[in-house]
Amino acid sequence: MRFDVLELALIAGGLTYLWRYLPLRANLSSMAPGGVLARVLAATGPAAIATLFVAEILPLVHASPTLQRRALLGVLGVLLAYAWRRSVVFATLAGAVVCGGAAALGMA
């Protein structure tokens, strides 16, 4: 492994660890509910989900139509499951099942 790749992985891992650890150790009892820090911490989860979604979907723009249809079915599965149950966990699992089922059945 090249040193620059290892260095980048260690920096990204360390910063991710600190980003998740420091709010747990900080005294947030005096934080205003509508303050800037509260809004930043509340936006972290959706921002991470959006980033992972874009990172996963972007390579599929130039992929084969089969992979694009499979991804589209997975995204539709997520959206429909979330609309039905309003659960992020259920929607994520449903999208994975739909996408995997389409691949296993050769539908897409």
36 occurs within a structural domain: no
Q: Domain for residue 95, yes or no?
A: yes
Q: How would you write the pLDDT of the chain (108 residues) with one tens digit per residue?
A: 788 999 999 999 999 899 888 878 877 777 778 888 778 878 887 888 888 888 888 888 888 988 899 989 999 999 999 999 999 899 989 999 999 999 899 876
Tell me what pLDDT residue 39 has.
Answer: 84
Is 32 domain-assigned?
no
Domain count, the chain: 1
Q: What are the angstrom distances between the C-alpha of 102 and each of 9, 72, 73?
A: 33, 11, 8
State how far the Cα of 60 lies from the Cα of 55, in Å rounded to an integer.
10
What is the predicted pLDDT for the residue at 27?
A: 78
Q: Is residue 75 part of a domain?
A: yes
| Full domain range(s) for residue 101 | 63-108
Please give the pLDDT value at position 108: 63
In a domain, 107, yes or no: yes
Residue 102 counted as domain residue: yes
pLDDT at 73 (0 to 100): 93
Please report, to the nearest 10 degrees, the dihedral formed by the alpha carbons of residues 101, 89, 78, 75 taken in order: -80
Residue 39 belongs to some domain of the structure: no
Domain presence at residue 76: yes
